[in-house]
């Protein structure tokens, strides 16, 4: 899939200088250098004495800053980012497979409301169900509808 490769390359190859990263995220340049020393983040290069980061690292920096602002220590924020990455990889893999049968029904003007039909699932005892996700401003929930034989 060509678009997936392009997107991945954008994340890895867009370079943002340390000054701009500091301005965008609110993390001082000194903090960024400290995080580098600790091995939490990695610059793309320090050639010509200018540090730059890829988009993936900038997102990590913003996540860490947000967690620190929420009261986590830097080490705890890093651990939480690693756990979040693992969850996202697993969810991405699951959704890639589940997306093959995914159907979205949107009969509202609001593009973020509707029904997501995930398809058929079955229980250990052989009962079959249709799994749906309900998404609207009032609620976000799953619904299991039993499929009668």
What CATH number has the domain bearing residue 82? 1.10.1660.10
φ, ψ for residue 130, nearest 5 deg: -105, 125
Give the per-residue pLDDT at 108.
67
Q: Do residues 112 and 141 share a domain?
A: yes
Low-confidence ranges of the chain (pLDDT < 70): 1, 46-47, 108
How many domains does the chain contain in total? 2
Quote the CA–CA distance of 118 and 131 in Å, as a whole number.
5
Whether the CB-CB separation of 133 and 95 falls below 8 Å is answered with: no
Give the per-residue pLDDT at 35.
97
Q: CB neighbours of 87 closer than 8 A, spacing ≥ 6?
A: none
Q: How many CB atoms lie within 10 A of CB 40?
A: 18
Q: Do residues 124 and 61 share a domain?
A: no
């Amino acid at each position: 899939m060509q678009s997936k490769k392009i997107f991945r390359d954008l994340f890895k190859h867009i370079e943002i200088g340390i000054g701009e990263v500091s301005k965008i995220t609110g993390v001082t340049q000194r903090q960024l250098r400290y995080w580098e020393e600790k091995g939490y983040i990695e610059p793309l290069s320090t050639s010509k004495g200018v540090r730059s980061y890829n988009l993936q690292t900038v997102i990590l920096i913003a996540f860490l800053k947000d967690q620190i602002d929420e009261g986590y220590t830097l080490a705890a924020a890093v651990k939480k980012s690693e756990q979040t990455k693992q969850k996202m990889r697993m969810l991405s893999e699951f959704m890639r497979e589940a997306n093959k049968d995914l159907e979205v029904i949107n009969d509202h003007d609001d593009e973020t409301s509707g029904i997501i039909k995930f398809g058929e699932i079955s229980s250990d005892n052989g009962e079959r169900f249709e799994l749906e996700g309900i998404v609207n401003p009032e609620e976000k929930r799953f619904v299991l509808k039993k499929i009668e034989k």
